[in-house]
Structure 1
Amino acid sequence: MTIDVILPCLNEEAALGWVLGRMPGGYRAIVVDNGSTDRSAQVARDLGALVVAEPLRGFGAACHAGLLAASSDLVCFMDADASLDPGQLPRVAAPVMDGRAGLVLGRRRPRAAGAWPPHARLGNAVLAANLRRRTGASLHDLGPMRAARRAALLELGLTDRRFGYPLEMVLRAAAAGWPIDEVDVDYLPRAGRSKVTGTLRGTLRAVSDMRRVMAEIRPH
């Protein structure tokens, strides 16, 4: 069985070689180029990935374009910046494959100094605490590495196309009664600067998007 792995990508030329080179057997990389100005798309093609162009800028737009392009029953998502090891995808996919969970998030465990800036870790902790209260799921991280069934994700009707997409996925899955779980994954220093925590504008936009999603969706 092949599992599609959706990698939203914006100027990740420096990281793609490592990321795609560590993709496990049976996992197919779908790199969604979200308007890169470097050679990300060509590098991904040269390394055998399926490349999808998504001109509408936004993290959620790239993720959803990859979901629509995927064809496998089970799909995974992960960042393309080398902060996560594709070799650990099977541990995230396993609870979905065996029916123990409908959505699995990779709980990030920093493995090197500087992998997770203090302000970003604090913001994530606050968000995770809010998610625990709202969903009843024992979550400690929003989890950029994740796995779920493709058809079920499409049925959730996700609408956010910016930084609120991962949060909306969790909230709508909880509202639909999905079992949600998390497993530990390594968190490594990323290649290049983060589009979210690396800039004030990115941080403020992400906070705004997530607040809006929180206000719109209230799981029972």
Structure 2
Amino acid sequence: MTDYAPADPPALVRADIVLPCLDEAEALPRVLARVPHGWRAIVVDNGSTDGSADVARSLGATVVREPRRGFGSACHAGLLAAEAEYVCFCDCDGSLDPALLPGFVRRLAGGESDLLLGRRRPTSRGAWPLHARAGNIALSRMLRHRTGLRLHDLGPMRAVRREALLALGLTDRRSGYPLEMVVRAADAGLRVDETDVPYLPRTGKSKVTGTWLGTWHAVRDMRAVLRQPGPRTPSDVRAEASR
């Protein structure tokens, strides 16, 4: 699917949008201006020193402070603060467009999917660094081996029912959180799908995948998630009983 237009009037669906934030004061005005009307933006300040929390608050966002550093810590704090039936996640660095998310939620409400991910499609050569893209490809292949899911991207833009996500009991609080969400959803039998979204050059400097070292740390965290055992099958139980 390659239609990037927000095809669904925001009034038809409602959700809370979790925006993990670390020093994104420059990008926040543009990002929050794209939040669908009537939706609640939850900006999770994960230790910003540039006044991001004040900027977000002045623009009408709900601000949650999460002192424990880590992408997963920020995402999960936002999830716990969310109250709507649907919860969406989106980076707040200007690389992704929150205005597309009503289309995500409409597909969930229509029963097409249980967890819908945005497959990033770079709009320019510099939008997605080569090392970050290579790490993503490698992880997607490992995910396919672990779960059977044929996904192309493990991007941060996604939508899911809040109660279904809470029931997964996610424990990673670092860069492995997005991958753990997908793995546990697959293990629980939820339908996981992806849809194309434009990926723009971010505003400011990346905190995670902007460097080889940052990408390496993210891949390390995610590989740890993939090494966790999968769900027990009837054959596993029989094998244990015969020992």
Match status 1:25 vs 2:57? no
Match status 1:189 vs 2:227? no
Local SS of the residue matching 2:197: strand
Q: One-letter code of the match for 1:45?
A: R
Match of residue 9, structure 1, among 11, 21, 35: 21
Structure 2: which 5+ residue stretches go unaligned?
Answer: 1-12, 234-243
Distance 2:208 2:69 in 1: 14
- What's 1:40 paired with? 52
| Paired residues of 1:164 and 1:210 also in contact (CA < 8 A) | yes
Deviations 1:44-65 (A, max 9, x none): 0000000000001100000000
Relative to structure 1, is the Cα distance of residues 50 and 8 closer, same or farther in structure 2, using a 3 angstrom cutoff?
A: same
Q: How does 1:75-90 map onto structure 2 within 5 Å? A: 75-90=87-102
Q: How does 1:102-117 map onto structure 2 within 5 Å? A: 102-117=114-129
Deviations 1:19-48 (A, max 9, x none): 001111232100000010011000000000
Match of residue 73, structure 1, among 82, 85, 89: 85
Name the Cα RMSD after superposition: 1.3
Deviations 1:108-138 (A, max 9, x none): 0111220011111111111112222322223
Deviations 1:46-92 (A, max 9, x none): 00000000001100000000000000011000101000011111222
Local SS of the residue matching 2:16: strand
Q: TM-score, normalised by structure 1?
A: 0.96
Local SS of the residue matching 1:14: coil
Q: One-letter code of the match for 1:99?
A: G
* Higher mean displacement: 83-92 or 130-139: 130-139
Q: One-letter code of the match for 1:12?
A: E
Distance 1:110 1:201 in 2: 22
Match status 1:91 vs 2:98? no
Local SS of the residue matching 2:41: strand
Distance 2:128 2:104 in 1: 20
- What's 2:8 paired with? none
Match status 1:162 vs 2:169? no
Q: TM-score, normalised by structure 2?
A: 0.87
* Higher mean displacement: 167-176 or 124-133: 124-133
- What's 1:206 paired with? 218
* Greater than 6 Å deviation, 4+ residue runs: none
Q: One-letter code of the match for 1:54?
A: E
* Higher mean displacement: 204-213 or 105-114: 204-213
Q: How does 1:175-186 map onto structure 2 within 5 Å? A: 175-186=187-198
| Paired residues of 2:146 and 2:226 also in contact (CA < 8 A) | no
Q: One-letter code of the match for 2:169?
A: G
How many residue pairs get matched? 220
